[in-house]
Chains A and B, each alone.
Chain A
Amino acid sequence: MTQTISVLVENRAGVLNRITGLFARRAFNIESLAVGVTDDKNISRITIIVDSGNNVVEQVEKQLNKLVDVIKVRTLDEKKLIGRELIIVKVSTSTKTRQDVANLCQIMGAKIADISSTSMTLELSDTPDRVDLFESLLRPFSILEVARTGVIAVQKGSGKI
């Protein structure tokens, strides 16, 4: 089962290394990991998606909590979270296929970020499922390259972690 763990950490050199190192050493698999600074510039927020049972996630949480640079760890409630991922995808296009790609973008709510005579670069920010869907719909058009950010997430409602 996929679970989303939010981690608040000190925004310092070497912290990400400690966190990823912990996952490697304890043989926890990371599906996705995204890092960014928070409203407090001394604190970064890391969103980690793991595909593991509850026991493993509990142990991940506890081990993360032991790191001195980790301020807070929460496993988010999957039913009540807002999770988003950004994808930037470059596809090969010709005058024949350009309109089809543009239609697809319109349907999915993606933007055309760049265009050339032989390619289009598209961006979409959405739930991971819809980002997957968008990527698979583009596959017939010959994808040149894909960059995805990994998921960031917050819990719905007024509470904070």
Chain B
Amino acid sequence: MINGAQALMESLKREGVERVFGYAGATICPAVDALAATDIAYTLVRTEQNAGHMASGYARMMGKPGVCMVTSGPGATNLITGIATAYMDSIPMVAITGQVQSYLLGRDIFQEVDITGACAPFIKHSYLVKDANDIPRVVKEAFHIASTGRQGPVLIDIPIDIQQQMIDPVYPDSVDIRGYKPSVKGNDNQIKRVAASISAAQKPLLCVGGGLFSAKAQEELITLCESARIPVVTTMMGLGLLPRNHPLNLGMIGAFGTPTANRALNTTDLLIIAGARAADRAVTSPKEIASRTKTVHLDVDPAEIGKNFSTTVPVVGDVKVILDQLISHHPKAQSEAWIADLQARRQAETQPAAAPGAGSVTPSYLMRTLGEQLDDDACVCVDVGQNQIWAAKHLPMKHGRFLTTGGLGTMGYSLPASLGVKTAVPDRQTVVVCGDGSFQMFENELATLKAMGTDVKIVMVHNGVLGLVHQIQYSSYSGPFGVDLTGSPDFEKLAEAYGIPGKRISDDGQVDSAIHDMLTASGPYLLICDVDPMTTTSMT
């Protein structure tokens, strides 16, 4: 016989889990003890939220669930933001929380919270285990639910006495959940309608999002857009699906998107949305677009279809499978004139230029230079705020990944996500882009970075304010208030205290060589770039 915690670890191993991100506490100790006896690697974070973000970064690179494990009460509530972030970004994750003794549940004892109840609105599914014999089945189901259909986080809450309960575990080989059968293949008739619509279209447009990364459908996207002659725009979560210089890539749509991408969205005669919910940030007037043009929506989640966009032709299924089905019909649009016009407009878009001698780094130029110097397959983990918009607009993606939280927009995501990335793909060049506000939301994880001995470069856009709010307060409110980051430390010294070298620059003339020095340094590095706080995201 073994205890529930040992059965938990055996179940994780059977799901192929190689690493757990966690933070120990009293009620999760049996599971930590059982983990220590296995070859599953363990990363200690510095606050539980970041265990969620690390699992997210790991999952996005591995294409399988990341696992995080924390204690009950405050451990679990701290993890909530990590869970909600994964939910809004549709990232597969299995979160394990310790819980107080099952026979004491509901009595408000030390470090007890109803975490399955608290997470209900923003989690794909959750379990409160009340019998250790259920652990193997619950773990198998959790991984299945997290990684199939529309991916997302699943929570397993295990009371400490259940972790200690002695059992003879029975490990199931398969999963059968009668209420959970996600569609895989698209309806053939609908596919035919879509193919016919493409062939009849003169101004077709593919609008693609993070769902294509989840479905691992990048190759299918390239095949379809090239063979059917359909230009492509992306949401923020879809950045990097096509290299920036791909002739059919028009860039990102939305309030912070490229003029050409938004023009295409506003003039298309056939809009094909794939793996995207096209929420308010991406499309500000979905009703207007839907009233004017034919829309096709391809998504694994039937609830997305018709939610933000009314759709002429819906197709539900795995987007990779659907794109393959579409390709097999060899649709070809009559789109050469439209493509030529859009390509000319895209060419004419102004490229960010350096303004040396101004005493402030130009963010757009910084991002362009950074992108140009990065490896072709680099991973860029981008935080939230002005830094995110500058990076999204100006950092030229090649064949790497642009990892940010486009759904929940959680400040402090970038560094922990990058550490998850590094555990998944240790040899890929990995760079964090953040602001001085977001940096101070994750700076405790510099210790984790150091402890992991891994190589992550951090580029900080430093303007002494919470830039995006500062900008909105100027444009739409009575003026800046409560956004001045006075009291921030000397970041170079802070990094040095963690044994991380850094450099601070304040002029475009320094950008090129500073980025070169950062990227060629061995080990982690912090590059602080002073930016005028009055520089806004609408400037180039």
Contact = CB atoms under 8 A, between A and B. Distances in A.
Given A14-B116, A14-B128, A55-B306, A25 B121 contact: yes
A21 B179 contact: no
A67 B145 CA distance: 11
Contacts of A59: 303, 306-307
Contacts of A14: 116-117, 128
Q: On chain A, which size bracket covers the interface?
A: 20 to 34
A66 B299 CA distance: 14
Contacts of B1: none
Contacts of B150: 66
Contacts of A58: 306
A142 B177 CA distance: 51
B303 A71 contact: no
A62 B303 contact: yes
Contacts of B306: 55, 58-59
B504 interface: no
Contacts of B128: 13-14
A58 B145 CA distance: 23
A69 interface: yes
A17 B117 contact: yes
A129 B117 CA distance: 36
Interface in A113-135: none
Nearest to A62: B303
A87 B206 CA distance: 55
Given A14-B128, A70-B179, A65 B120 contact: no
Q: On chain B, which size bracket covers the interface?
A: 10 to 19
B145 A68 contact: yes
B185 interface: no
A8 to B, nearest CB: 9
Contact of A17 (B120, B178, B180, B302): B120
A25 B88 CA distance: 14
B179 A71 contact: yes
Contacts of A22: 121
Contacts of B302: 62, 65
A160 to B, nearest CB: 16
A94 interface: no
Contacts of A9: 179
Interface string B293-309: 00000000111001100
A98 interface: no
Contacts of B120: 17-18, 21
Contacts of B117: 14, 17
Interface string A33-63: 0000000000000000000000100110011
Nearest to B141: A68
Contacts of B178: 71
B125 interface: yes
B104 to A, nearest CB: 17
B179 A69 contact: yes
Given A22-B121, A63-B303, 7 more contacts: A9-B179, A59-B306, A59-B307, A65-B303, A66-B150, A68-B145, A68-B177
10 contacts: A9-B179, A10-B179, A13-B128, A14-B116, A14-B128, A22-B121, A62-B302, A65-B302, A68-B125, A70-B179
Interface of A: 9-10, 13-14, 17-18, 21-22, 25, 55, 58-59, 62-63, 65-71
Interface of B: 116-117, 120-121, 124-125, 128, 145, 150, 177-180, 301-303, 306-307
The 9 nearest A-B residue pairs measured at CB: A62-B303, A25-B121, A68-B125, A71-B179, A68-B180, A21-B120, A70-B179, A62-B302, A63-B303
